[in-house]
Structures are given as C-alpha cells and as structure tokens.
C-alpha cells in the first residue's frame, strides 16, 4: 500500500514538474500557475520520500529496494539512512532536494523580479522533468517484489555509520544547489532585456544561494573525507578516487563562481564568464552524478551498474552543455549590466580574482582530465589504465600553492587600479611577520621532526603568510560586517587546510607491525602494548576487540585503545574499526589488519599511524564552509528591495 | 596601458600558462599511468615496456603464504597465473578464491612485487576488470550462488 502511495506521489511530481516547465517558459501561461506547480511537485516528492522512509522503518519487504538495503536487525536510524543508501533512493533524494531549492529560489527571486523568477522556474521544471523521468523509468525505488522476501539483504556494513546519515544529504544539497545559478543564468537569457537604468537585482540575489550551495558541498565533502579516514581508508583522507573527484570538480567550479560573482555584483565586469562558470558548475554536478551512478567507475560508491542509467545521464549532460552554450553564445549581452562597466588593470582586485579563477578552473580541468582519461581510453579500446594519486599530487601542487599567495594579497588590492606606495605601507606588517615565519618554520620543523623538506617549508610559509594577511586585513576592515568576516573565515580556512595537508603528507608515518599479545612497540614518542583480543557482540554484528594500552610521555594515565574487527551476519564482509587518539597537532591511529596464525589468540598484523595535523584538514574545510555561510548573511543581501 | 596592449598581455599570459600547464600535465600523466592487465595478457608479453601494472584475477586457493608482514599469493584467470609478493596489510575482503587486484612492478622472474593490494566492496562484488579477465579466459568458476541452487 505504502509503495503504491509513494509511486503515485512520484508520478504526480513528474506531472507537476511538466506543468512547471511549461508554465514557466510559455509567455501566455497564466501567472501563478508555475508557483502552484512548484508547490505540488515539492509536496509530491516529499510524500514519495516519506513513503519510502516508512517502508524502510516498517521493513516492507515487498519493495525490491527495501529488500536490497534493509534487514530486521538493522537499527532504525540506519534504516532511515538506508533510504539514500542505494542508487534509487539517493536519486529520489536528489530530486527532492531539487524541489526544495526550487521552492526557496523561486519565492525569493519573485520578490525582486517576477518575470525572471517565472523563467527560472521554467528552467528548473525542465531539469526536474528530466531527473524525475530518469528516476521513474530507470531507478524507481517503488518496484514491487512479489512474493515478498522473508528477510532483507541489509545495508552494506561500510555504510552503517553515523557519517553516512549526513554525508549524502549534505553532498546532494551542495551538488543540486549548483542548479540555482545555472537556472538563473539561463532564465536571464530568456527574459526580456532590462531597460537601461533599472537596477540589476538578480546578481546580488544569486550570491547567497551560491554561497549556501558551496557551504553544503564543502561540509558534505569534508564529512565524506572524515568518514573515509576512520571507517574505510586505513587512515587516508583523500584517495583521488574518481567518485571523490566527481564532487571536487563542482566544488572548484563553485569556488571560482562565488569569487567572480562578487566582482560581477560590485563592479559589473566579467558577466559572460559568470554565466559560463554557472553552467560549468551545474554540468559538472550532473557529470558527477553520472560518474557515480552509472557504474562506469569501480569504486566504493559505484554500486549501480545499469548501462541504461549511464546513457540517460550522459545524454542529459550533453543536452545541458549544448543548450546552455548555444543560449549563452546567442544572448550573452543579456548577462551584462546595462550601465557602462568600469575598466580595470590586471594588477587590481578584479585582476587577482581572474588569476584565482584561472588557477581554480585549471585545477578543475586537471582533475577532469585525470578522471575521464581512463574512461576514454577504455571506451576507445586502448586498454585499461588508471591514473594514480601521484599524478594529482604533482599537478595540483603547482596550481594550489600560488592560490595561497593570491588569497593573501588579493583582499588588500583596491578595485580597478592599485596605489603601490599605499599597498606597501599596508602590507609591511604582513611581510615582516611572514618573513619571521619563514625563518622560524624550518627551524621548528628540524627541532620537532628532525628534517625540513623544502616543499613542506614552502607550503607552511605560504599558509602562514595567508593566515597573517587574513587576520590583519579582517582587523583593519573589522567594521565591514559579515562580508569581511566571511571572507576572512574562509581564507583562514584555506590556510589551516594547507597546513594540515602539508604536514600530514610530509610527516605522516605509517607502519605495519606484527604484534603478539603482551608485546610492546613504539608509536611516535609513546609506547603501545598489545594485550590480546576479546570477542564482543554488537547490535547486529560480532566483533573481535583488540586491547591496546598506550602510554605517552607526559600523560598522567595510560589510555586503552579498542580497535575492532567486525563481522556482520548475512554478509561475510569483515569490517575494520580503527582506534584513533585524536589531538590538535597529531592523531595516533591503530587498526587491526588480520591475524597471522589461525587463531585470534595469536599474533596480529597491526597498522600504526602517526598523522600530524590531520584535524586541520577538516578544520580548514569547516572554516571555509562557515565563512561562506557568514558572508551569505551580509546586510547587502538581506536588505529589503526598494521599489523605486 | 592601453586596452589593446593589455589584452595582448593577457592573451600572451594565458597561452604561456596553458602551454606550461599542458606540458606539466602530460608529463605527470605519462609517468603515473597504471596499466591494467590480466594474467593472460602478462603471459602474452603485454607487460613489456610498462612499468607500473595492476594485475587482476582470482586469488588461487591454497596459494596464500605468510611470513610475518611478508606475504605471497598467486593471481589467476584460471588459465595463466602471476605470483605476487607483498609486504603489509591486506584489505578486509581479501580471501582465497575471491577477486583481487595487485599493483606493482614485475621483476625479472615474472613475479609482481606489489605495493598495493585492492579487493573491494561486498562479498559478491567482483571488479569489472577481474570479471572480464575471467570471461576472456573462458573459465568462469562456479559462484557460491550457483552451487546453492538445487
């Protein structure tokens, strides 16, 4: 019953989306029709989503999707998370989030420019029709299984983790959020030319939405990386896995977009480039969905492997690109402001934002190349290859290090042109402090770690310079409100992130050792004793719990560490649960790999790791997200629209 | 600077940056490609001239030996085999008779000195490359599900 209700609601949403597309794009459509369609579609999707969640909570094993991802033993929280634990449900979540963004964006833009908002609703309706057709005909979560199964297959144990509950929804909020700038730009080109002298409300309106999408995407990626670190990755935090790249590419495009949007809003320049970036960001999100969901990739995330799904998604990506760029090339002028735009020199704030954009887009392109090259080779029958992490490390480094410099200098520059003597005077303190850091950092590294690698020194000095510059600049402009503080937070986040990446890549230690019960080994400056293994029982798994005692110099009491080896019945897949002692300047990581002999009472292979400053990696990303969120609440974006 | 001059400079900078970038990228890409081969392709000599390899197949039952952290096993597509040595920690899903991929370099004796062993996902999952390797050799082993059927 609940399955039919959900299915019906999904069909209703598709019909509503169709109405929304038509009502939004046809000039003679009755006013307000698109608004009703938007609401109906959102309600339908919400109902479908709730129906699927109810089916999961009740363990309705007449639905194929529930059978594949749930189980009587599965705790209720994970049953709800299992709604988006597989392909069909996660695509449903995608469309639900699309409806959510549509409701919010259309209502808020309608207050400023009703025609533009209606056209945007039309574009969003078309996107939604495409996605809902995809869900209904290739990935329907409400397909019945008759006769019903007795028991479900349960959720992949890797995914039975609190991280999974929040990772996909956050990621999708960000992914799908790129549709707002995309639809706004496309709708702008469908809307009538603005008469000269009228204010451009939509550019200012668009920036908070872009910032929110960026916030969600950043948090989603950070959460995924953190989850991989403690659950999956044997202590790695980024693997250059194609699926990770699929989320990184829209992130880089969004980061470029929100910088250039600020310039577009305040100076009126770079309007064509803004449009191109908005289209690119959304296309990359679609491409990401395609990569993850089509099964062309071999990865943890790629569970679906249905060629039909892949080709539909690929056709969608191609259509989006084709239509958008045709529109942009035909009507680029409508993106530009009607007033004359001020000229600027390359050495100015606008100039440095374009350098920032070149670097971000170039890194996005290199990630795209490394991700798609193996697929293209395979498709052309030129052999199966993969591109290893060293490629990405080698290529991203020369692109991201200059970005730190640009972020440090950029905010100090003035628009249009720079008064050099004044800039020197302002930057003097920053330069002195950075120079001091450049002297202190290598000495500190040698003192603590015994060696200072040149690359680490460069990375740390640039990060320190960025941090100093950001703090001093924010202090100077402290009355600038949320805009200034948002930028400062985000740039400080970049610096913190850079410190984390540099330290963990240069000074991380990884050791695999064989330990018998009673033996002691060293981990960083601590001693680690292995006391053997005890069996334990969890909610829906059996586990072998290792007992380790860690004694660090300066610590009052020894700490007990309990890494686990779990096995889930119904799946012979063992799971490694690591034990991590976390700290601001380093994590100590213990994971039990496998037993050496035939009995768990014997020796075990244990992986030990020291991860210096790894928390800074996620700390930095969270700061970036907070910065974007803060900037979105700037007064200029909240101010009521004057009807003059 | 006149606008025209400025545009010239920008174009020049972009071209230079693009050329430099393209050079760096192709260099990095070329030296970091990992070629995927099946044991059959290795036997046919396709590994010649390729430094970094991924070899995928089934872990031959009974071939797994361990001496502390050093271990060795044999990858097979049920026709040809490649011996693998590896030091370190194996992924959770590594087991005899299951699919696995080992990445590393071949030595003169035809042994793969692996730096990484991959075996992923759930127990029914088989990397597409491994499945293809088995299909190509025409010797697909009976899966547990097939045996369970009456």
For strand B53-59 and strand A604-612, is the pairing parallel, antiparallel, or unpaired? unpaired
Residue A447, pLDDT above cutoff 60: yes
Q: Where are the domains of chain A?
A: 1-158, 412-507, 509-616
**Residues A99-109: pLDDT tens digits?**
999 999 999 99
pTM of the model: 0.91
**Residue located via tokens 């003192």:** A447
Nearest to B25 among A299, A343, A366 (CB): A366
Closest chain A residue by Cα to residue B27: A391
Query: Which of B89, B135, B136 best tests the A interface by mutation, with the highest count of A CBs <10 A?
Result: B89
**Residues A596-642: pLDDT tens digits?**
877 888 899 899 999 999 999 999 999 999 999 999 999 888 865 54
Nearest to A298 among B28, B31, B127 (CB): B127
The pLDDT score that the predictor gives to residue A444 is 95
Beta carbons of A343 and B52 less than 8 Å apart: no
Beta carbons of B34 and A394 less than 8 Å apart: no
**Residues B93-138: pLDDT tens digits?**
788 888 888 999 999 888 999 988 887 554 444 555 566 666 666 5
**A39 — pLDDT class (breaks 50, 70, 90):** very high
**Residues A485-499: pLDDT tens digits?**
999 999 999 999 999
Q: Cα–Cα distance between B41 and A95 in angstroms, integer?
A: 44
Query: Which of A385, A416, A577 best tests the B interface by mutation, with the highest count of B CBs <10 A?
Result: A385
Nearest to A596 among B1, B10, B66 (CB): B66
Interface confidence (ipTM) of the complex: 0.75
The pLDDT score that the predictor gives to residue A439 is 96
Beta strand segments in B33-150, E: 33-37, 53-59, 65-67, 70-76, 81-87, 99-106, 112-118
Mean pLDDT, chain A, rounded, equals 90
Q: Which of A96-105, A371-380, B55-64 has the highest mean pLDDT?
A: A96-105
Considering only CA atoms, which of A401, A402, A398, A370 is closest in space to residue A386?
A370
Q: Cα–Cα distance between A488 and A469 in angstroms, integer?
A: 9
Task: Give the single-character DSSP code of A228.
Answer: I
Which residues neighbour A284 within 8 Å (Cβ) at sequence distance 6 or greater?
A178, A249, A250, A253, A364, A368
Beta carbons of A395 and B28 less than 8 Å apart: yes
The pLDDT score that the predictor gives to residue A644 is 38
The pLDDT score that the predictor gives to residue A572 is 65
Query: Which of B91, B93, B114, B121 best tests the A interface by mutation, with the highest count of A CBs <10 A?
Result: B121
Closest chain B residue by Cα to residue A298: B127
Cβ of residue B123 closer than 8 Å to a chain A Cβ: yes
Nearest to A571 among B36, B54, B122 (CB): B122
Q: Cα–Cα distance between B118 and A606 in angstroms, integer?
A: 18
Compute φ and ψ for A604, nearest 5 degrees: -125, 150
């Amino acid at each position: 019953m609940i399955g039919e209700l959900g299915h019906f609601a999904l069909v209703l949403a598709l019909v509503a989306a169709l109405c929304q597309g038509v009502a939004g794009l046809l000039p003679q459509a009755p006013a307000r029709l698109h608004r009703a369609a938007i609401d109906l579609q959102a309600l339908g999707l919400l109902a479908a989503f709730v129906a699927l969640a109810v089916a999961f909570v009740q363990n309705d094993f007449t639905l194929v999707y529930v059978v594949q991802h749930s189980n009587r033993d599965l705790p209720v929280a994970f049953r709800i998370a299992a709604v988006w634990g597989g392909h069909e449900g996660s695509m449903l979540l995608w469309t639900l989030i699309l409806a959510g963004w549509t409701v919010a964006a259309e209502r808020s833009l309608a207050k400023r420019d009703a025609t533009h908002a209606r056209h945007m609703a039309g574009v969003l309706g078309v996107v939604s029709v495409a996605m809902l057709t995809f869900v209904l005909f290739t990935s329907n979560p409400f397909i019945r299984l008759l006769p019903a199964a007795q028991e479900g297959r349960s959720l992949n144990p890797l995914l039975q983790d609190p991280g999974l509950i929040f990772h996909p929804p956050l990621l999708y909020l960000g992914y799908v959020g790129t549709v707002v700038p995309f639809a706004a730009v496309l709708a702008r080109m469908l809307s009538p030319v603005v008469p000269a002298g009228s204010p451009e409300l939509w550019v200012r309106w668009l920036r908070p939405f872009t910032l929110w999408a960026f916030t969600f995407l950043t948090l989603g990626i950070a959460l995924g990386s953190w989850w991989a670190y403690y659950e999956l990755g044997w202590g790695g935090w980024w693997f250059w896995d194609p699926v990770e790249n699929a989320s990184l590419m829209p992130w880089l495009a969004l980061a470029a977009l929100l910088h250039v949007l600020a310039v577009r809003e305040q100076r009126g320049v770079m309007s064509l480039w803004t449009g191109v970036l908005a289209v690119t960001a959304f296309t990359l999100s679609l491409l990401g969905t395609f990569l993850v969901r089509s099964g062309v990739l071999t990865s943890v995330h790629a569970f679906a492997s249905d060629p039909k799904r892949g080709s539909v998604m690929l056709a969608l990506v191609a259509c989006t690109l084709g239509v958008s760029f045709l529109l942009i090339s035909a009507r680029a002028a409508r993106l530009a402001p009607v007033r004359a735009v001020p000229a600027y020199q390359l050495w100015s704030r606008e100039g440095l934002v374009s350098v920032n954009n070149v670097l971000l887009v170039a890194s996005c392109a290199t990630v795209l190349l490394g991700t798609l090259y193996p697929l293209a080779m395979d498709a052309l029958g030129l052999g199966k290859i993969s591109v290893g992490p060293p490629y990405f490390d080698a290529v991203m480094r020369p692109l991201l290090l200059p970005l730190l410099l640009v972020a440090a200098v950029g905010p100090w520059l003035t628009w249009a042109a720079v008064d050099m003597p004044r800039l020197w005077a302002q930057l003097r303190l920053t330069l002195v402090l950075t120079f001091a850091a450049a002297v202190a950092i290598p000495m500190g590294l040698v003192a603590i770690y015994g060696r200072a690698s040149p690359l680490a020194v460069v990375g740390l000095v640039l990060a320190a310079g960025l941090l100093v510059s950001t703090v001093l600049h924010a202090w100077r402009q402290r009355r600038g409100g949320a805009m200034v503080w948002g930028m400062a937070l985000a740039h400080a986040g970049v610096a913190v992130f850079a410190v984390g990446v540099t330290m963990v890549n240069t000074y991380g230690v990884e050791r695999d050792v064989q330990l018998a019960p009673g033996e002691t080994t060293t981990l960083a400056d601590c001693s680690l004793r292995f006391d053997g293994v005890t069996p334990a029982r969890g909610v829906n798994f059996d586990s072998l719990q290792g007992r380790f005692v860690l004694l660090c110099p300066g610590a009052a009491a020894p700490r007990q560490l309990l890494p686990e080896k779990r096995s889930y019945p119904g799946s012979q897949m063992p799971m490694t649960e690591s034990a991590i002692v976390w700290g601001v300047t380093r994590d100590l990581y213990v994971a039990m790999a496998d037993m050496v002999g035939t009995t768990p009472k014997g020796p075990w292979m244990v992986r030990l790791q020291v991860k210096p400053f790894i928390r800074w990696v996620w700390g930095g990303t969270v700061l970036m997200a907070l910065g974007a969120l803060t900037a979105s609440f700037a007064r200029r974006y909240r101010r009521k629209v004057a009807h003059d | 600077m006149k606008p025209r001059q400025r545009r010239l400079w920008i174009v020049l900078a972009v071209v230079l940056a693009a050329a430099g970038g393209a050079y760096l990228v192709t260099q990095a890409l070329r030296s970091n490609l990992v070629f995927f081969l099946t044991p059959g392709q290795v036997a046919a000599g396709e590994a010649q001239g390729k430094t970094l390899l991924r070899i995928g197949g089934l872990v031959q039952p009974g071939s797994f030996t361990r001496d502390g952290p050093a271990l060795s096993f044999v990858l097979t597509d049920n026709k040809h085999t490649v011996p693998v040595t590896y030091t370190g920690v194996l992924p959770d899903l590594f087991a005899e008779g299951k699919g696995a991929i080992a990445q590393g370099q071949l030595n003169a004796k035809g042994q793969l000195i692996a730096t990484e062993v991959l075996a992923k996902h759930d127990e029914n999952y088989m990397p597409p490359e491994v499945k293809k390797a088995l299909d190509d050799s025409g010797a697909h082993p009976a899966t547990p599900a097939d045996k369970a059927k009456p």
